[in-house]
Amino acid sequence: MIFFLQRDNNPLRKEAFTASFLGKLHPARLSHLHQGSNYLARLLNESLACQPVAGEVLLIGLTESGIVPSFLMYMEACRLAVPCRWICSTRRSCASGIVFQETHSHSPNHTLPIPQCRFAEFAEIWIVEDEITTGSTVKNLLRQIKGHVPAEIFRIFSLVDFRSEKQQKEFFHPPNENKKAHLFHTAVSFSEIEGDAPEHGNNFEPQNTQAVCYPDAVLQKSAAECGLRSHRSHRIPVNGCADGTLLVIGETVRTAAHLVAAGMFRSFQHITLSPWLVDDVSIKSRISLHKDHYLYNKQESQGPVYLLHDPTDHATGNAIKKQLEEQGIPVQQLNVL
């Protein structure tokens, strides 16, 4: 299911989009990840029909909303035996790498944390987003990457495209790019649709969502990309943690998505930095938490409730745990290896 929302306190971006498998409004289960995989498999098959894979792929997700879509695209690429590495941008100030900006964001500075010398290994660059608003963020990233990478093929995948016709036409006209191949694939574009986006949400829904089997070999690759020792490697209490809701802070949503895909947890919900207005339809409640974090629809978090975050977010995690417990939500912090 998809949701069209209104942003809070962001005059540059009033409309917002999210989907069930992103886990921002409600706990995301394995069935929701299957739905997302179906969306992305359709886009990937369309792209590969246009241009076969030329070699090893560097697949990039843009934090935070692009993390789960890029994870699902990575899983699909592995299922198709596409040689692929998966990385995500970060907003952490301590990260080193290639810096670019998401100019319309509440937190615009991104870093792509990869040693620049390794870019020479990749024949293709794939960028996966949940939505494209103007295209400026992707263009900023491409502009930075192209100074370091010899890749000739760049594929951009997005679930929703809000660019105008003019923005679409202007997207791929940089100078001296005649030898580069750019492929842009979106599930739905609103450039030619009049009226409010929520009125047309059913255009995005798939007719048939098929369950996706994630083989152990694919899950093992995903575990390695998430920094886990194994896709079965985790530290959980013995009282049935998998039956609860896993609340996740920030960029650790990549680990949470993997744990649900591997069947280790029933669901995850992202405590997100996205500020949306309560509309009493898709969003019935919003809890404002430490450092501009938000939890939506708290009534859907079924116990037991666990909290997952990076070690660098330890102070934020402690503060959010205290705030949630003050709201009547008992939380146990979780370490995942």
In sequence order, the β-bridge partners of residue 245 are 267, 305
Tens of pLDDT, residue by residue, the chain (337 residues): 788 888 887 766 677 889 999 999 999 999 999 999 998 999 999 999 999 999 999 999 988 889 999 999 999 999 999 999 998 888 776 656 777 555 555 556 768 876 555 777 889 999 999 888 778 888 888 887 877 778 889 999 998 887 888 888 777 655 455 556 778 887 665 544 343 433 334 344 444 444 456 778 888 888 888 877 555 544 444 344 567 789 999 889 999 999 999 888 889 999 998 899 999 999 999 999 998 999 999 988 877 899 999 888 899 999 999 999 999 999 998 865 5
Return d(Cα 294, Cα 296) in angstroms, integer: 6
The secondary structure element, H or E, covering residue 318 is: helix 314-326
Residue whose token pair is 């706990």: 27
Domain 33-196 belongs to what topology?
A: Rossmann fold (3.40.50)
Q: Which residue has the tokens 């879509």?
A: 69
Separation between Cα atoms, residue 139 and residue 124, nearest integer Å: 16
Nearest in space to 43 (alpha carbons), one of 152, 131, 157, 178: 157
For residues 118 and 313, give the distance between their C-alpha atoms in angstroms, rounded to a whole number. 28
CB 231 within 8 A of CB 261: no
Q: What is the DSSP string of 65-85?
A: TTHHHHHHHHHHHHHTT--EE
Distance CA 231, CA 265 (A): 12
Distance CA 310, CA 256 (A): 11
